Amino acid sequence: MRVAYSILRRFFKSFDVSPQELAILLIEQGLVVEKMVRVEDVFAFPFVVGTLEEVRESFPYSECLIRLKDKVFSTRVKSWGVPPEGAKVLLSLHEEVPSFSLVAGEGKETSEFLIVLPDAFPEGEDVSRHLFGDDTLLDLEITSNRGDCLSVIGVVRDLSAKLDLDWEWPQISYQEVEMASPIALQNEDLNLCPYYTGKFIANVEVKPSSWEIIKDLYLLGLRPINNVVDATNLVMMETGQPLHAFDASRIQGNRVIVRRARRGEKIITIDGLERELSPDMLVIADGFSPIGIAGVMGGQNTEVYPATREVFLESAFFNRVSIRRTSKALSLRTEASARFERGVDPQGVRYASERVLSLLWQEGKVQIAKEWSIAGEAPHYDQTIQVYPEKIGEILNGQIATEKMMQILKRLGFTIVSLETDNFVVKVPSFRADVSTLVDVAEEIGRINGYDQIFPCLPSFPFDPGNEDKNYVLEKRLRTFLVARGLKEAVTLSFVDSKTVQELGVQPDSLIAVKNPLSQDQSFLRSQLLFPFLGILRLNLGRGRNHFGLFEVGKVFYPAQKAGNPWQEELRLGVALCGNLLPSLWQKGTPVDFFTLKGFTEEILEVVGFVPEMVQFLPWDDRTPGFERDAAFIIQSPEKMVLGWGGKLSEKILWKLDIRGEIYYLELKLEEIFTLVGELALPIRGANLFPAITRDISIVVDRDLLWATIAEKVNEIVNRERMAVEKIEVFDVFEGQPLPQDKKGLSFRCVFRSSERTLNDEEVEVWIHKIKSEIKHIRGVHLREEFVSS
């Protein structure tokens, strides 16, 4: 909503606030000033006065010769907008080039009309300052509860409370004639249109508006059209009540019907576009077809144009929800619909109409029918609120005198109905439907009295915030660990594009689709952190960042019905490693490989409290696409719950997605993992001071036999025989000569140590023998010393 300093000031008798002070006052009372502009920055100054010397008619345009001292300019103007020869007209002049557009940077070849100035203006003079003064324009951002402030009067009223100043309503002054309106009004939907008024005006002469009206429209950010339309627009800006003028002679069948649109009905609106209507939209129709979309935009078929002689002036109160829906459905937001959907003043419908009549009557000639066409009645509004000043003081934490509270409310249009010792009752004005309870009144008093008068203090009451949530603590520990290990934390978009999903071979129906995505890139929600990670990997590698580790803790989403919610979300950790862990050029580095990633995985699990027996690493099994088959793993709990997966990302898929690099990626299901660690804490013991005895065992096994098979068996023996084993650790894996091709060698070290005594060699020998004698019975396993290559 744009207002001009000069226009606001006009309403007050005395007004000694500068534009800068005004802006601050408006902000303090909740009318945000988005922008302050000086007139010279908006208008195509300098404006000069020319004389229309000669008109050469050639319908529909006329060639106008305009004299400016010793020069004569020529311009093409629509014929209806050409004043008589000799008139003083306004033009802007820039480096000897004249323009008839008032707004800076809006040059046009032809003009709708010439702007006529009073004859007293001397030709050739720069009248910019004289016409516009030293004005400032303020763009206000009006919050959606303050429909009343989408009008100059609304802003003036609010300002009058802040300044505690009287102001005056614009005058109503016109005369009516005894004349029957030929238009019959019929309202078929009192629900969507509770109140409709029409006024018939005859003997209308459509012409350019007077300079005063043109100037005000420009200052308020509108463009002049003709005197009739300008009057309705100006009054809308003034009062907040949208109005519409129909060319009465073009209303078919002399009937105006307020009704819902019929299925398939169409209308060409005044912007020249054809729009298809639906039965939930309210239209204004004549005997044959719609002539306007109620509260949104008029139809071209009844638009006021230069030949119009009779006007039917509409001022109505429409259902705000209906207007909002219609405007949304048609993607057609207008000054009118913006006001209706925020709620106009039901008691202001008639006043606005009378203001238009006053403006038109001032031009002389028009004949206004005495009879009003009225359908429905203005909704009554009689909300009252009992106000307890003590409560208001409590809410605002400040002392405000009851007198002052009442004065503020009166200035805002409230009426004091009664006054008791500890309370008073106010009647809420019809234009403030947003105020209905005591707290609303508190806000009104607070914002006018000034929020700077709120005395700061602190809430004080007994409340134990409790410990941090376990998952929150674990997540923090995990993030801290990963950063300490040199990884950078990422935050990626929760959306994913369909291309990535398809390349990964993920079924789109396993994802949640966004019904109204901003773009195709963001049409699904990620069901794996991997999806957005691919994007940031492409970006980093594309920019030549070759050595890095990135991680993200975030939610993934997938469809699954659970407790009445069809969509599930789950916390995950994603880790991507790439390049070299020691990236200096002159030292031999350590490239990230499969076992780097696995080491990270094990460390992460240990950090959140896992012991090795709590997880199993299994070879990759198609459940998670995107990895190289031979270099990926699934992590599983002993209860066969999948806790995560990781490995080398598929080179082929990365290539297709335009990602050039070798990347190792891990994704962990944090919620499952956090559940498993529970509150469990390992018992803490003193350090073990007894010596250890170590023995190595070498075996030869089938190539595809997993180390886990051996490790599980050894663990089983150790537990069963209650051996004092501290650690079983692989230290060599070898293939090739002298072993046959289908075999591999595995060597592992058993570290024996008791926490109670010093072990002796003899008992350890017995244990080693036991282990050896049992593992050699596993299919495909031979002790190295017994293996005979055949």
Partner 1 sequence: MPEIRIDVLEKYFSDFRESLDKVKTVDELNRIKGQYLGRRSLLGEFLAQLRQLSPEEKKVWGQKINEMKNRMEEEFKEKYEQLLFTKRKEMLIDVTLPGKKQWVGSFHPVLIVRDQVLSIFQSLGFRIESGPEIESDFYNFEALNIPPDHPARDDQDSFYLSPNWLLRTHTSPGQIRAMQKLTPPFKVVVPGRCYRRDAFDATHSPMFHQIEGLVVATSISMGDLKGTVEIFVRRFFGPQRKIRFRPSYFPFTEPSAEVDVSCGVCQGEGCRSCGYTGWLEIMGAGLVHPQVFEKVGYDPKKVRGFAFGMGIERITMLKFGITDIRWFLENDVNFLEQFRTWR
For partner 1, the binding residue among 421, 584, 737, 790 (CB under 8 A) is 584
- Cβ 779 to partner 1 shortest distance, Å: 43
- Cβ 547 to partner 1 shortest distance, Å: 7
For partner 1, the binding residue among 148, 247, 443, 503 (CB under 8 A) is 443
Of the pair 395, 642, the CB lying nearest partner 1 is at 395
What are the Cα distances from residue 563, in Å, to 73, 560, 566, 567?
A: 78, 10, 8, 10
**Range 338-377, binding partner 1 (CB under 8 A):** 341-342
**Range 387-416, binding partner 1 (CB under 8 A):** 394-398
The yes or no reply on residue 507 touching partner 1 (CB under 8 A) is no
Report the alpha-carbon distance of residue 151 to residue 133 in Å, rounded. 23
For partner 1, the binding residue among 169, 288, 451, 595 (CB under 8 A) is 451
Q: Which amino acid is at 541?
A: L
The yes or no reply on residue 536 touching partner 1 (CB under 8 A) is yes
Report the alpha-carbon distance of residue 380 to residue 382 in Å, rounded. 6
- Per-residue string for binding with partner 1, 180-219, x by CB under 8 A? ----------------------------------------
- CB 156 within 8 Å of CB 11: yes
Count of alpha carbons within 13 angstroms of residue 390, beta-carbon side: 4
Of the pair 98, 535, the CB lying nearest partner 1 is at 535
Of the pair 291, 338, the CB lying nearest partner 1 is at 338
- Cβ 43 to partner 1 shortest distance, Å: 22
For partner 1, the binding residue among 494, 528, 624, 650 (CB under 8 A) is 494
For partner 1, the binding residue among 54, 57, 489, 765 (CB under 8 A) is 489
Report the alpha-carbon distance of residue 288 to residue 251 in Å, rounded. 9
The yes or no reply on residue 84 touching partner 1 (CB under 8 A) is no
The yes or no reply on residue 280 touching partner 1 (CB under 8 A) is no
For partner 1, the binding residue among 108, 309, 470, 488 (CB under 8 A) is 488
For partner 1, the binding residue among 86, 133, 486, 508 (CB under 8 A) is 486
**Range 647-676, binding partner 1 (CB under 8 A):** none
352-387 CB burial, b ≥16 within 10 A, e <16: bbbbbbbbbbebeebbbbeeebbbbebeeeeeebeb
The yes or no reply on residue 595 touching partner 1 (CB under 8 A) is no
For partner 1, the binding residue among 9, 76, 129, 324 (CB under 8 A) is 324
Report the alpha-carbon distance of residue 245 to residue 257 in Å, rounded. 15
What is the CB neighbour count within 10 angstroms for residue 758?
11
The yes or no reply on residue 485 touching partner 1 (CB under 8 A) is yes
Report the alpha-carbon distance of residue 577 to residue 537 in Å, rounded. 10
- Cβ 397 to partner 1 shortest distance, Å: 3
Could you check whether the bond before residue 738 is cis, i.e. omega within 30 degrees of 0?
Answer: yes
- CB 675 within 8 Å of CB 656: no
The yes or no reply on residue 555 touching partner 1 (CB under 8 A) is yes
Report the alpha-carbon distance of residue 140 to residue 152 in Å, rounded. 11
Of the pair 178, 452, the CB lying nearest partner 1 is at 452
- Cβ 494 to partner 1 shortest distance, Å: 6
- Cβ 224 to partner 1 shortest distance, Å: 29
Of the pair 51, 449, the CB lying nearest partner 1 is at 449
The yes or no reply on residue 563 touching partner 1 (CB under 8 A) is no
For partner 1, the binding residue among 15, 351, 495, 617 (CB under 8 A) is 495
**Range 414-433, binding partner 1 (CB under 8 A):** none
**Range 108-147, binding partner 1 (CB under 8 A):** 143-146
Q: Which of 290, 101, 293 is nearest to 192 (CA)?
A: 293
Stretch that binds partner 1, among 63-71, 489-497, 692-700, 734-742 (CB under 8 A): 489-497
- Alpha carbon 380 to chain centroid distance? 36
What is the CB neighbour count within 10 angstroms for residue 711?
16
Strands (E), 588-641: 616-619, 627-636
What are the Cα distances from residue 537, in Å, to 146, 260, 476, 540, 545?
A: 48, 55, 24, 5, 9
Stretch that binds partner 1, among 46-54, 289-297, 496-504, 581-589 (CB under 8 A): 581-589
Residue written as token pair 């459940």: 623
- CB 428 within 8 Å of CB 415: no
For partner 1, the binding residue among 268, 374, 416, 490 (CB under 8 A) is 490
Of the pair 491, 733, the CB lying nearest partner 1 is at 491
**Please, which contacts does 70-75 make with residues 24 or more away whose CB atoms are closer than 8 Å?**
73/98, 75/100, 75/110, 75/111
The yes or no reply on residue 510 touching partner 1 (CB under 8 A) is no
- CB 357 within 8 Å of CB 202: no
Q: Which of 306, 427, 317, 300 is nearest to 379 (CA)?
A: 317
Task: Give the pair of three-digit tokens for residue 64.
Answer: 């106008």
- Cβ 145 to partner 1 shortest distance, Å: 5
The yes or no reply on residue 560 touching partner 1 (CB under 8 A) is no
Of the pair 585, 687, the CB lying nearest partner 1 is at 585
- CB 550 within 8 Å of CB 642: no
The yes or no reply on residue 272 touching partner 1 (CB under 8 A) is no
Size of the site for partner 1 (CB under 8 A): 90
The yes or no reply on residue 509 touching partner 1 (CB under 8 A) is no
Stretch that binds partner 1, among 90-98, 512-520, 709-717, 775-783 (CB under 8 A): 512-520
Task: Give the pair of three-digit tokens for residue 180.
Answer: 């029957």
**According to DSSP H, which parts of 117-242 are helical?**
128-132, 152-163, 211-219, 227-239
What does the angle CA 570 – CA 576 – CA 579 come to, to the nearest 5 degrees?
180
- Cβ 479 to partner 1 shortest distance, Å: 7
For partner 1, the binding residue among 545, 749, 753, 784 (CB under 8 A) is 545
CA dihedral 89, 90, 92, 95 (to 10 degrees): 30
The yes or no reply on residue 321 touching partner 1 (CB under 8 A) is yes
**Range 11-40, binding partner 1 (CB under 8 A):** 27-30, 32
Residues in Cβ contact with 62 at an 8 Å cutoff, skipping those fewer than 6 apart: 55, 56, 76, 77, 78, 79, 82
The yes or no reply on residue 538 touching partner 1 (CB under 8 A) is no
- Look up residue 167 and give its DSSP letter: B
Residues in Cβ contact with 169 at an 8 Å cutoff, skipping those fewer than 6 apart: 153
For partner 1, the binding residue among 458, 563, 681, 684 (CB under 8 A) is 458
For partner 1, the binding residue among 224, 240, 295, 446 (CB under 8 A) is 446
Of the pair 84, 566, the CB lying nearest partner 1 is at 566
For partner 1, the binding residue among 463, 679, 687, 790 (CB under 8 A) is 463
Stretch that binds partner 1, among 246-254, 518-526, 628-636, 716-724 (CB under 8 A): 518-526
The yes or no reply on residue 619 touching partner 1 (CB under 8 A) is no
